[in-house]
């Protein structure tokens, strides 16, 4: 077992970013300047292009890839992440490098406390989240993407399939949004190999991007955003047109409606 690992790079918003992961008993904690707070203490403060969280004056952005790595490996406690900078580093543009770092810690996996207790659906701003009871964890997405892209992806809750298919899927930019993203200064210092361009007719980037890589990245984002709420839940989640803000609202509503329930710890 490794007691701590460090990964450094630049965040989505361009600043230098470092995260140190260490084994520490108790719930998952996020820390800065020597002070760590449990994940449950944070709230979503921005979910436009990524998920940013805050606890008092402690704000951290681009959390979804890191949380996807934790969910994919079943890490539900025993870890502290100390962050230098305003966000998590983008690294490879997906969750593979972060998942490998988490894996070095050797933390035993645990099933999510969140579960689907009754079938139901939640609609938020044109996105639909269908929850159904089933054994294990299963997550599926259907997304709207330009011609030439696959529009669906799924994960069966298995760590090996997460590492092989979901974690490597890189973040992407729709060609029509490129000018707005540039205006906001997003991605200005990240490696070009970490980002795909999705245009009419195909997916473009370094290597040989598969037509379903953008859909798999949307699946990655959904898994990571669900982790903040204790998920992805035991059961089946099928999301059509998910997005960061829509996912957070959908999970909050599903909990309020009694579709989702957290086991007592």
Query: What counts of helices (H) and strands (E) characterise the chain?
Result: 6, 18
User: Please, which residues have CB within 8 angstroms of residue 182's CB and are 6 or more apart in sequence?
Assistant: 188
- d(Cα 83, Cα 256) in Å, to the nearest integer? 32
| Domains of the chain, start order | 4-104 (3.30.230.20), 114-262 (3.30.1700.10)
- d(Cα 47, Cα 247) in Å, to the nearest integer? 10
Q: Say if residue 96's pLDDT is above 60.
A: yes
Instruction: Read off the pLDDT of residues 213-254 as tens digits, 9 standing for 90 and up.
Output: 999 999 999 999 999 999 999 999 999 999 999 999 999 999
SS (H, E, C) 46-62: ECCCCCEEEECCEEEEC
**pTM higher than the cut 0.95:** no
Closest CA to 248 of 217, 219, 226: 226
Instruction: Read off the pLDDT of residues 169-226 as tens digits, 9 standing for 90 and up.
Output: 998 777 665 555 555 555 556 677 778 778 887 887 888 889 999 999 999 999 999 9
Closest CA to 18 of 69, 74, 49, 60: 60
Instruction: Read off the pLDDT of residues 42-87 as tens digits, 9 standing for 90 and up.
Output: 999 988 888 999 999 999 999 999 999 999 999 999 999 999 988 9
- d(Cα 29, Cα 77) in Å, to the nearest integer? 8
């Amino acid at each position: 077992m490794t007691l701590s690992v460090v990964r450094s790079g630049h965040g989505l918003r361009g600043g230098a970013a470092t995260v140190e992961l260490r084994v520490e008993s108790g719930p998952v904690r996020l820390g800065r300047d020597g002070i760590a707070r449990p994940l449950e203490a944070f709230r979503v403060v921005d979910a436009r292009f990524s998920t940013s969280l805050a606890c008092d004056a402690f704000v951290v952005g681009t959390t979804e890839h890191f949380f996807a790595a934790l969910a994919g490996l079943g890490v539900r406690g025993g870890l502290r992440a100390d962050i230098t900078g305003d966000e998590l580093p983008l690294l490879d543009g997906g969750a593979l490098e972060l998942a490998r770092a988490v894996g070095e810690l050797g933390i035993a996996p645990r099933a999510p406390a969140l579960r689907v207790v009754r079938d139901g659906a939640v609609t938020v701003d044109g996105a639909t989240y269908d929850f159904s009871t089933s054994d294990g964890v299963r997550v599926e997405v259907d997304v709207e993407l330009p011609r030439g892209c696959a529009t669906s992806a799924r994960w069966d809750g298995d760590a090996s399939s997460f590492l092989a298919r979901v974690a490597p899927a890189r973040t992407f930019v729709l060609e029509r949004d490129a000018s707005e993203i540039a205006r906001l200064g997003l991605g200005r210092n990240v490696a070009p190999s970490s980002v795909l361009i999705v245009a009419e007719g195909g997916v473009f980037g370094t290597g040989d991007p598969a037509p379903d890589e953008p859909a798999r990245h949307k699946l990655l984002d959904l898994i990571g955003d669900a982790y903040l709420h204790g998920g992805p839940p035991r059961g089946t989640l099928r999301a059509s047109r998910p997005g960061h803000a829509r996912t957070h609202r959908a999970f909050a509503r599903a909990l309020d409606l009694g579709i989702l329930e957290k086991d007592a710890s």
